[in-house]
Amino acid sequence: MPYSIGLRVYQIALRDKDTGEARNFCGDGGPLDLFAFTQAFIEARKAVTKNTERQRSWYFHRRTENAPPQLCGLIQYGTFGFQSDLIDAETGEINYTRKIDEIEEIPLFFMFSIGENRDSALAAFQNFGSRSCIQMVLDELKREYETSTDKYFMTIQKLMPAEIIQNTYKNEPVKQITLLKRQDSDDIADTYWRRASPSSQKIKLSITATRGGSLGLLNELIPRTDEHRTSLLSYAGIEFEAAKAEVMIAGKRRTVGLVGFDQNSGAIDITDQIIFGPNGHPTFDSILAEANDIVDSFDDRLHGSDHED
């Protein structure tokens, strides 16, 4: 089964240091020209950027000729700092031993949508299972912008936490809820050696509405208190750790993390909508199409239907 593929959407604003108000972007090449700044930021990071403390690396690889308002491509995200063996899954033979100073990379999709005369932009980033370099990239983007000007600062807000979902998709009917529980082994040796014992598997329970029905509106299901959270994650005497909901986003039923499993919470699951290539990764065109639909849908919700094509 392929790794789960998710997209997280972020809202980026440039704010006045004196008033804190978000300023409209413009295309004059100055400090409020976010498109030009982001384009230069991407172009300047086509070589490997290494974070030795985290033993991670990343750099941009543009896949298309970008034009306003869109910048998109791939981030090559890598890990290094330890030796590992690459083993043939069929024969068990070691094909190659990766050295400690070699980097293992995977491609992760990114997109920025930055329109002029707007006071916020949108960005979408892919995760591959639990792997993501979003925070490193956005931290560097913010740091570089704020060292380039003494008039403005940058704010970056993830748009998929429950409190944001309830404002943008609160009236969408929920067709399915999935509850998840990690069943970790009590045996530390099982954990260390990753033994595939029954006690180390994941429990998954899906509750689906009847045809034409729903399990309620998303706004009614988002946990707002610890008591509500406990109620949502309990079923038939089993305490679950995470909850996901299927709702309509950009004209398709999509899975959204509601609570739990922090690395997946807030991500829009697009695993079933994309095409996987022979390398086991999403094809660029298929994930680009999904990202366009999702970002356009968010843009409509935030700014109305006047966004640029």
- Helix then strand then coil, % of the chain, to nearest 5: 25, 35, 40
Q: What is the per-residue pLDDT across 201-224, written as a single tens digit (0 to 9) for each?
A: 567 777 777 777 776 666 555 544
Residue at 292 is within a domain = yes
Which pTM does this prediction carry?
A: 0.71
Contact residues for 47 (Cβ-Cβ < 8 A; gap 6+): 59
> Are both 142 and 193 inside the same structural domain?
no
Paired sense of beta strands 49-51 and 152-158, if any:
unpaired
The amino acid that residue 76 corresponds to is Q
Q: Choose between 110 and 28: higher pLDDT.
A: 110
How many beta carbons lie within 10 A of that of residue 242, not counting itself? Answer: 20
> Are both 145 and 215 inside the same structural domain?
no
> Are both 246 and 140 inside the same structural domain?
no
Determine the structural domain holding residue 291 and report its residue range: 1-158+281-309
Number of domains in the chain: 2
What is the distance between the alpha carbons of residues 294 and 34, in angstroms, rounded to a whole number?
A: 21
> Are both 148 and 262 inside the same structural domain?
no
- Going from the C-alpha of 254 to that of each of 108, 169, 233, the distances in angstroms are 20, 12, 20
Q: What is the per-residue pLDDT across 102-124, written as a single tens digit (0 to 9) for each?
A: 888 899 999 999 988 899 999 99
Residue at 271 is within a domain = no
Q: What is the CATH number of the domain that holds 102?
A: 3.30.530
> Are both 130 and 82 inside the same structural domain?
yes
What is the distance between the alpha carbons of residues 231 and 236, in angstroms, rounded to a whole number?
A: 11
Residue at 246 is within a domain = yes
192: region left, alpha or beta (phi > 0 left; psi from -120 to 50 alpha): alpha
> Are both 208 and 243 inside the same structural domain?
yes
